[in-house]
């Protein structure tokens, strides 16, 4: 399983627009049988935290090259006040499978 976290910072006035964009991306990602989770959280200081969980690294990489991902980045990048921070892990499921 591939787990990815992303933290992005926006001006407070841009958080609603960023959330709207991410809601559309979330819906598209979750339409895939390969996406196990796509959750978006935010605080009052302009930080947005995203967690993705995918069945495989290949599935996540396919998403990263998708039109949806490209459009999301294109819309969000100009709103960000600093580069996003991302972490990822390849981990086994509880039953020990990748």
Q: How many residues does the chain have?
A: 98
Question: What's the rounded mean pLDDT across residues 65-69?
Answer: 92
Q: How many CA atoms lie within 13 A of 13 on its CB side?
A: 0
Above 90 in pLDDT, residue 97? no
- At the second CATH level, the architecture of 2-90 is 2-Layer Sandwich (3.30)
pLDDT value of residue 93 = 75
Q: Where does the chain show beta strands of DSSP type E?
A: 2-9, 35-42, 47-54, 85-90
Question: What's the rounded mean pLDDT across residues 44-64?
Answer: 94
Q: Which residue has the higher pLDDT, 94 or 30?
A: 30
Question: What's the rounded mean pLDDT across residues 2-24?
Answer: 95
pLDDT value of residue 92 = 84
């Amino acid at each position: 399983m591939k787990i990815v976290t992303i933290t992005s910072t926006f001006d407070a006035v841009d958080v609603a627009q960023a959330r709207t964009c991410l809601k559309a991306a979330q819906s598209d990602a979750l339409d895939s049988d390969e996406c196990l989770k796509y959750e978006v959280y935010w605080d009052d200081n302009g930080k947005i935290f995203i967690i993705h969980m995918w069945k495989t690294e290949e599935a996540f990489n396919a998403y990263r090259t998708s039109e949806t991902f490209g459009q999301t980045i294109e819309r969000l990048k100009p709103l960000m006040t600093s580069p996003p921070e991302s972490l990822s892990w390849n981990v086994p499921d509880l039953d020990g499978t990748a």
